[in-house]
């Protein structure tokens, strides 16, 4: 399955994406287009104050865009609630 198809089928799910440059992204798939997937990041920096609106051009409803061509692996992120 292509990364595009995987992302399309798993909108709303928490995933771990590793890009070819070795960077790990964790987040919830928000939307996907033929060139990018947008995730709401789950990131330790998020709550620390240096992260939020504006970071990575990140804003409400937009998410963090990752080029599909840059993705090495994508997998479901283990998740649960208390």
Task: Give the footprint of another protein on this chain (CB under 8 A).
Answer: 10-14, 26, 28, 40-44, 46-47, 49, 52-53, 60, 76, 78-82
What is the distance between the alpha carbons of residues 33 and 42, in angstroms, rounded to a whole number? 21
Q: C-beta of 78: minimal distance to another protein in Å?
A: 4
Give which of 75, 52, 50, 71 is closest to 63, Cα–Cα: 52
Nearer to another protein, 21 or 53 (CB): 53
- Rounded to a whole number of angstroms, the minimum distance from the CB of residue 46 to another protein is 5
């Amino acid at each position: 399955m292509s990364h595009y198809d995987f992302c399309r089928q798993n909108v709303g799910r928490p995933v771990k994406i590793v890009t070819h440059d070795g960077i790990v992204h964790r987040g919830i798939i928000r939307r996907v287009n033929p060139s990018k997937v947008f995730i709401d990041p789950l990131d330790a920096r998020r709550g620390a104050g240096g992260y939020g609106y504006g970071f990575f051009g990140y804003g409400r409803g937009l998410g963090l865009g990752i080029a599909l061509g840059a993705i090495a692996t994508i997998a479901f992120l283990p998740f649960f609630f208390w």
